[in-house]
Structure 1
Amino acid sequence: MANDDSKTKLETESHKFTHDEYGDQELEEWRRKEKTVVHRLDCFIAPVFMILNLVSYLDRGNIGFAATQGMTREIHLEGTQLNTAVSIFYVFYILAEFPASILVKRLRFDRVIPAIALCWGLVCLFTGFIQSFGGLVVTRVLLGFFEGCLFPAIALFLCNWYKREELGVRIAFIFISTALAGAFGGLLAWAVLHLDGIANMSGWRWLYIIEGIATVVWAGLCTMLIPQNYQTAYFLNDDQKAIIKRRAEEMDAYSGGSGRYTRKDIKEAAKDIKSWAHGIIQIAVVTILYGFGTFLPIIIKDGFQFSTVQAQYLVIPVNIWGAVVYAIGAVLSDKYTARFLPLVICAPFGIIGYAILLSDVPSGVRYFATYLVAMPCFICTGGNIAWLSVNCAPDGKRAASLGILLTLTNIGGVISGQIYPSNASPAFTLGHAWSLGSLSIGWIGWWFVRSMYRNREASKDKALVEGVAVPERDFTDRAPGFKYQI
C-alpha cells in the first residue's frame, strides 16, 4: 500500500492528461507521436544552442591559443597579466549571470539571445585589433558581461521545451559543444597559423577576427531560427503544436509552474541547501573545466615541450574524447534517471590524471593523462547543473536556483585564471595540484548531496503514508508528491 501511495505526481498527472483524451489502446500511439516531436526539437532547437555555446566558448577560450601564437609578446603582456585578463572575464561573467537568470525569462528569448550573441561577436572581432593590455582588459570585461547572460537564457529556454527527465541529455548537448569548441578551436588555431602576416597582421589577430565574424553571422541567423514559443515555431505543424501544448500542461501540473515567478520563489531557492551545495561543488568542478579548457594549449606547449603547431592540433582529440564520454554518460543518466553515478565514477579518472601530471614522467605519459582529465571535465560540470535543474520546482525556483549555482560557478572561473601563471611552466604544479584537490572536493560533495536527497525522499514517503497534502499554491520540490532524481 505504501508503494501505491508513493506514485509520483508526474506519473499521476501524465496519465491524467493522456487518458483524458486518449484511451488505453491509443496511449502507445500518443507516446510515439510525442517521441517524434521531441526528436524534432532535437533537430531544430538543440543544434542552434549548441552552435551558440560553441562560438561562445571559442570566443572566450581562444586567448590560450592566441598566447601560444605571439599575442603575449605583441601586446607586451608582462608577468601574470594574461592570467589577470582571464580572471577579469569571469568576474564580469559572474556580475551578469545571476541577474540574467532572474530577468531573462521576462524577455523574449527570440530577441534577447541573438542580441547577446551579436554584442559579444562584435567584441571578439574588436579584440583582433587591440594593441595593449588595457585594450585586452576592456574586451574581456565586455565579453564576460555579454556571455554571462547567455547560459541562463539557454538553460531556461530548454526548460520551457523539454521535460525534466529529458533535460539532462539536452544540457549535455550544450556542454558537448563546449568540448567540441576546444577541439574546433585547436583546428582553427592551427589553420590561422597560415594567415600569419596577411594584411600585416599576426595569425592570432585573424583568429579573433574570423571567430568574431562567425559569431555575428550566427547571431543574425538566430533571429530566424529561435522561435518565440511553440505557437510560432516554424518547424512544427498544428498536430505537433498540440502535442507540445499538452506537454507544457503536464510539466506545469507537475512542477507548479505558472510561467512567472515571484520574490517568494527566489527566497525558496536561497534557503534551500541544495542550491548552495550544488553551487559550491560547481565552483570546484568548473575550475577544472575552465582551467583545462583555457590553458591546455599552453600546458601542452610549455609544459610538455611540444611545438606551437603540435600544441594546436594535440588539443583536438583530447576534447573530442571528453565530448564522447559526456555523451555516453548523459544518455545513460537520463535513461535510468541516475544523476549521481556518472559523476562519482568519472571523477576518480581525473584525479588519477592530475596525479600523473604532477609526477616526473615522460611527456607522452603526461599527454595521456590529459585524456584522463577530459573524462570528468565536461560531464561533472554539466551533470551537476542537470542534477540541480531536474530537482527544482516550480519554474521560478528553478530559475533562481540555477542563478545561484551559475553565479557561484564563475568563482571557479576566476580561480582558474590564476592557478596556471605563465612563469609556472613547465611543471604547472599549482594548477595541477589545485585542480586535483577541486575534483576531490566535488567527488566528496556529491556523496553529501546524494545523502541529502535520500533523507528528503524518506521524509516524503513518510508524509505520503500519513496523507500529508500541500496546497497547489505552495507546491515546490519539497512537497511529498515531488520525487527527486538521484
Structure 2
Amino acid sequence: MAGDEKKMHHVNDDPDVQVLSGAENSVDDEKRVRRKIDCVILPMMCTVYFLQYLDKLSLGYAAVFGLIEDLGLQGSQYSWCTSIFYFGQLVAEGPFIYLMGRLPLTRFIAVTIILWGAVCMCLAAPTNFAGFAAVRVLLGVTEGAVSPAFVTITSIWYKKEDHALRVGIWGGMNPLAQVIGSLLMYGIGKIHHPSIEPWRILFLLCGALTSVFGVVFYIAMPSTPQKAWFLTPREREIVLERMQRDREGGDKVKFSWAQVRETLFDTKAWFILLLGFIASMPGAVIFFGTILINGLNYDKFQTMLLTAPSGAISLGMLAVAMIGCSILPKYRCLVLILVTIVPLVGNILLLKLPLSATWGLVASSWLASCNPGILVMIMSLSASNVKGNTKRAIVNTYFFIGLCVGCIAGPQLWEPSAAPRFFSGVTMGLSCWKRDREQGVDSGPVTAYAGEDLTDKEDVLFRYIY
C-alpha cells in the first residue's frame, strides 16, 4: 500500500482529489495540451457537424430548384419530407443509446458517417414522394448518433469550463452550413446539364463529401485520450489528470442498468428533453425560409443569395452567446434566456409586417432563424451537468428525442401553400420562444460518492454549472 501511495499526489491541497504520480501540471502545460486537442479533435468534429447540417439544409435549397415539381409533391408532402427524416432519427435513438455504451464511440460514429453519406447520395435517385420519403427515413437513422455522441466526446476531452465554447464552435457549423450551402446551391444551379437536375447534383456532392470524410474520421479520430496519436505519453497523462480533477471518467465501454434507473428518476434529465422539444419546434423556419423568400417574388438565384445572410446572423448570435458564457460562466441559463429574444422578435415581425414590406419580411426571417445558438447552449449544459457513461448517453439522447419530436411536429404547421405568410408556423414559433424564456432547469446540486464511472449524483466532488 505504501508503494501505491507514493504514486499518487493531492491536487491543490485537496485530500479528496488524487492523480497519478509526477509533477503537478503547470497552467502552460495544460494550455499547450488543450491547444493540440483543439487542432485535431475539434476540426474533425466541426467538419462532421458542418456536413450534417449541409445535408439537412439541402432539402430547402432543392425545393427552390425544382424538387417539389420534379417529384410531383402536393399538399403537405413537402412538409412530410422534412418531418419524416426525424422519424428515422427517433427510431434510431433507442438502439444507439445501447451501442454507444457498448462500442468504441468514435469508431461507431465513423461507420454511421460513411453510411449516411451513401444514403444522402441515394436522395438523387427517387422520382416520386414515396421513394424520396423512404430514403429520408434511412438518412435520419444513419445520422441519429452523431449529435449525442459529440456531446459525449466533448465531455471526454474537455473540462466543464471549456464546454460552452467548444460546443459553440462545433455547433456553429449549423449557421456556417446555411451560408455556404446557399452559395453552393447558387453555383450548382448555374450548371445546365441535360440529364440531371441541379438539386440531384447537390445531394450527390454532399453525400460523397460526407462518406470520404467518414473514412478520414475513422482513421484519424482517437477513441480515447490514452490512444491520442498526436499527444506524447506525458501529454496523455496531463489530459487524464486534468479530466480526473474535473471529475470526468472518460469513455467506458460498458452499459450500466443502475445508471438507467437513476436517469429515469432524474428531474434534470427530463428538463433537457423538454428544452430540446421547445427549442426545436420553431426551427422549421430554417427549412421553409427559402420558400418564404421565394414566395416574395424573388427568383431562385436571388432566393439563394438572400438566404445566406440568415446563417451569418445566426453565427453572429452564436458568438454573442459564447461571449456571454465566458463573461457569465456560472449563469449559462441566464444567457440562454437572453438569446431567445432575437428569434422571438423575428417571429413577431413575420406575423405583423405587411406582405408589401418584402425586405422587412426577409430580414425578419433571418432573425427568426437564429435558433442554433439556443440549441448549442442546451447541449453545453447537458455536457457540463451529466456524468456517467450510460447516463450521459441517455440524457444526450433525451435531448435529441425532444429535438426530433419538435422537428417532426414543427414542419406540419408550415404548409407550402401558406407561403409566404406561414401564419400557423410563425404563431407556433412565437409561442415556443415565449415558453423557452419562462422555462428553467432544476439547479439543486446533488452529491454522493466518488469512484470510477460514477454519475453526477454519485460523485461528491462533481459540481453542476448553470
Partner of residue 482 from structure 1, selected from 440, 446, 462: 462
Residues 240-279 of structure 1: per-residue CA shift (max 9 Å, x gap): 222122234334xx25678244111111111111111121
| Residue matched to 1:397 | 391
Say whether 1:225 aligns with 2:217.
no
Q: Tell me the CA shift for residue 474 of structure 1.
A: 11
8 Å contact 2:151–2:379 — kept in the other structure? no
**Aligned mates of 1:436, 1:10 — CA distance in 2:** 49
**Aligned mates of 1:279, 1:235 — CA distance in 2:** 36
Q: Tell me the CA shift for residue 331 of structure 1.
A: 4.2
8 Å contact 1:394–1:476 — kept in the other structure? yes
Say whether 1:330 aligns with 2:309.
no
8 Å contact 1:354–1:436 — kept in the other structure? yes
| Residue matched to 2:31 | 35
**Aligned mates of 2:451, 2:222 — CA distance in 1:** 30
| Residue matched to 1:293 | 286
Partner of residue 316 from structure 1, selected from 292, 308, 313: 308
Say whether 1:276 aligns with 2:270.
yes
| Residue matched to 1:92 | 88
Q: Tell me the CA shift for residue 425 of structure 1.
A: 1.0
| Residue matched to 2:297 | 305
SS at match of 1:45: helix
Give the partner amino acid of 1:346.
V
Q: Tell me the CA shift for residue 402 of structure 1.
A: 1.5
| Residue matched to 1:369 | 364
Give the partner amino acid of 1:266.
V
Residues 69-94 of structure 1: per-residue CA shift (max 9 Å, x gap): 01111111111111111111101111
Normalized per residue, which structure has more helix? 1
Say whether 1:201 aligns with 2:196.
yes
Q: 1:470 to 1:317 in 2, by over 3 A?
A: same
Q: 1:78 to 1:272 in 2, by over 3 A?
A: same
8 Å contact 1:165–1:337 — kept in the other structure? no
**Aligned mates of 2:129, 2:300 — CA distance in 1:** 23
Q: 1:102 to 1:328 in 2, by over 3 A?
A: farther
Q: Tell me the CA shift for residue 137 of structure 1.
A: 1.1
**Aligned mates of 1:110, 1:93 — CA distance in 2:** 19
**Aligned mates of 1:471, 1:215 — CA distance in 2:** 41
**Aligned mates of 1:54, 1:192 — CA distance in 2:** 19
8 Å contact 2:224–2:251 — kept in the other structure? no
The unaligned stretches of length 5 or more in structure 2 are 1-9
Say whether 1:346 aligns with 2:339.
yes
Residues 137-161 of structure 1: per-residue CA shift (max 9 Å, x gap): 1210110100012212222222211
| Residue matched to 1:83 | 79
Say whether 1:430 aligns with 2:420.
no
Partner of residue 246 from structure 1, selected from 229, 236, 241: 241
8 Å contact 1:166–1:334 — kept in the other structure? no
Give the partner amino acid of 1:280.
L
Partner of residue 189 from structure 1, selected from 185, 189, 193: 185
| Residue matched to 1:61 | 57
**Aligned mates of 1:257, 1:236 — CA distance in 2:** 17
Residues 3-40 of structure 1: per-residue CA shift (max 9 Å, x gap): xxxxxx99776994479643xxxx6x612111111111
**Aligned mates of 2:58, 2:15 — CA distance in 1:** 45
- The TM-score with structure 1 as length reference comes to 0.87
Q: 1:192 to 1:12 in 2, by over 3 A?
A: farther
Give the partner amino acid of 2:282.
I
Q: 1:17 to 1:310 in 2, by over 3 A?
A: farther
| Residue matched to 2:256 | 262
Say whether 1:414 aligns with 2:375.
no
Give the partner amino acid of 1:341.
L
The unaligned stretches of length 5 or more in structure 1 are 1-8, 461-467
**Aligned mates of 1:104, 1:44 — CA distance in 2:** 22
Q: How does 1:66-145 map to 2 (within 5 A)?
A: 66-145=62-141
8 Å contact 2:448–2:457 — kept in the other structure? no
| Residue matched to 1:465 | none
Partner of residue 352 from structure 2, selected from 359, 368, 392: 359
**Aligned mates of 2:76, 2:266 — CA distance in 1:** 39
**Aligned mates of 1:408, 1:255 — CA distance in 2:** 26
**Aligned mates of 1:178, 1:145 — CA distance in 2:** 19
Residues 441-473 of structure 1: per-residue CA shift (max 9 Å, x gap): 111113xx2xx31xx24xx6xxxxxxx964758
Q: Tell me the CA shift for residue 213 of structure 1.
A: 1.4
**Aligned mates of 2:75, 2:369 — CA distance in 1:** 28
Q: 1:393 to 1:108 in 2, by over 3 A?
A: closer
Give the partner amino acid of 1:39.
R
8 Å contact 1:114–1:220 — kept in the other structure? yes
**Aligned mates of 1:308, 1:421 — CA distance in 2:** 19
| Residue matched to 2:380 | 386
SS at match of 2:414: coil
Partner of residue 215 from structure 1, selected from 200, 210, 218: 210
8 Å contact 1:60–1:143 — kept in the other structure? no
Judge which range, 186-195 or 393-402, deviates more: 393-402
8 Å contact 1:109–1:228 — kept in the other structure? yes
Q: 1:14 to 1:20 in 2, by over 3 A?
A: farther
